[in-house]
Amino acid sequence: MAERFFTRQQLLRHGVSPRELRPGGRFQRVLRGVYVCEDKITFHTLLDAALHRAPDDAIVSHHTAAALWGGVVPNSSTIHLSVRPDTILRMAGITAHRVNESQHVMLNRRRVTTPAQTFIDLAGVLELIDLVVLGDTLVRKGRVHVNELRAAADAATGRGVARARTAAGLVREGSESVQETKTRLLVVLAGLPELVSQYRVRDENGAIRARPDLAYPQWKVAIDYDGRTHFDSTRDRQKDTIRREWLIQHGWQCVTIYADDLFKDPAGILERIIAAIRANGGSVRVTGSTWQRHFHVTR
């Protein structure tokens, strides 16, 4: 029994008892009719089990491809595969997408849609914010260039193409976290000027003294996201305090966005950022309402 995956019938023919196929037994069922002799069932185990039951030319796509490329997408409970239009693949745990053509490459001996194709495929099912988050994370990990995403979106047809083009236009280099991307989108969709990600603030000697998540250098406004586990030690808190004090002493306005602000008070975030800009001589206001469709307003 050199194979990794087995059907129930194969195991019984090899003398495995029905008792060993029950929950807690030596063999675990990962999909209907597919068993493995492994203690730990991982994402890759489920993926390979799905490919084992699918046609040889099936392509890993959508949410599953995004996960393999390191992109951040909402969790999906199934393995997503793209198959030919004439293929019948109905099985719990597998979502089959019937496509005529799909750009793909070999990744660890699996056919996987390219990062750009994955982005286009998911434009048909993801909301705008989640799609931009995916694009930002793929760019950050070096899987694809911003221009590649935009070119792919321009050439795409079919479902979600308008969203793909809008999202590709909003993807940026430099974003280092999901919450940073979402904060930037809140501001941009409200019609405020474009922010700079990970701006390096230097002192008179050229040394980097701070690197806020987002910034308006022209108005000396620094915006940082403070997650619940942002600080790991008292030393981290002290370093952050010193950095903030230095920025304030040198004329910067500092805006801190806390973990739940994006979900509970997006309007408040906009008000605070606008106030900081105006405090340093800028003249801005909210000119767009698109943000209200993507961020819940609780005020």
* The pLDDT of residue 18: 86
Write the DSSP symbol of residue 201: E
Cα dist from 170 to 182, 216, 289, whole Å: 11, 17, 16
Span 165-216, pLDDT tens digits:
999 999 999 899 999 999 999 999 999 999 999 999 999 999 999 999 999 9
Residue 1 and residue 100 in one domain? no
What is the percent of the chain with per-residue pLDDT over 90, rounded to a whole number? 71
d(CA 88, CA 36): 24
Q: What is the CATH number of the domain that holds 273?
A: 3.40.960.10
How wide is the angle at C-alpha 163 spanned by C-alphas 159 and 167, nearest 5°? 140
Quick one: pLDDT at residue 228?
55
Lowest-confidence segment of 79-83, 167-171, 226-230, 295-299 by average pLDDT: 226-230
For residue 298, the model assigns a pLDDT of 56
Quick check: 58 pLDDT over 50?
Answer: yes
Residue 299 lies in a domain: no
pLDDT at 29: 87
What residues pair up with 210 in beta bridges, in sequence order?
201
Q: Are strands 79-83 and 94-98 parallel, antiparallel or unpaired?
A: parallel
CA distance 142 to 133: 14
In a domain, 18, yes or no: yes
* pLDDT score of 234: 72
pLDDT tens sequence across 59-77: 999 999 999 999 999 999 9
Question: Which of the four pLDDT bands, split at 50, 70 and 90, describes residue 124?
Answer: very high
Torsion angle, alpha carbons of 51, 55, 56, 59, to 10: -60
What digits encode the pLDDT tens for the residues 126-176? 999 999 999 999 999 999 999 999 999 999 998 899 999 999 999 999 899
- Region 268-288: mean pLDDT is 96
| pLDDT over threshold 60, residue 53 | yes
Which pLDDT belongs to residue 198? 93
In a domain, 46, yes or no: no
Q: Does residue 199 belong to any structural domain of this protein? A: yes
Q: Which residue type, as a one-letter code, is found at position 151?
A: A
192 and 222: one domain? yes
Residue ending a domain, among 117, 143, 173, is 173
Are 204 and 247 in the same domain? Answer: yes
Task: Give the range of the structural domain holding residue 220, as residue numbers without chain letter.
Answer: 178-294
Residue 226: pLDDT band with limits 50, 70, 90: confident
Q: In this structure, are 60 and 31 located in the same domain?
A: no
Are residue 164 and residue 61 in the same domain, yes or no?
A: yes
Q: Check residue 4 and give its pLDDT.
A: 86
Residue 155: how many other CB atoms lie within 10 Å: 10
Q: Are residues 15 and 82 in the same domain?
A: no
**Phi-psi region for residue 127, left (φ > 0), alpha (ψ -120 to 50) or beta?**
beta
Q: Is the pLDDT of residue 269 over 50?
A: yes
At 2, the pLDDT band (50, 70, 90 cuts) reads very low
User: Looking at the structure, do residues 182 and 240 belong to the same domain, yes or no?
Assistant: yes
Residue 47 lies in a domain: no
Confidence (pLDDT) at 233: 63
State if pTM tops 0.85. yes
What's the rounded mean pLDDT across residues 268-290?
95
Domain match, 13 and 74 both:
no
Please compute the mean of the pLDDT values over residues 7-22 and round it to a whole number. 86
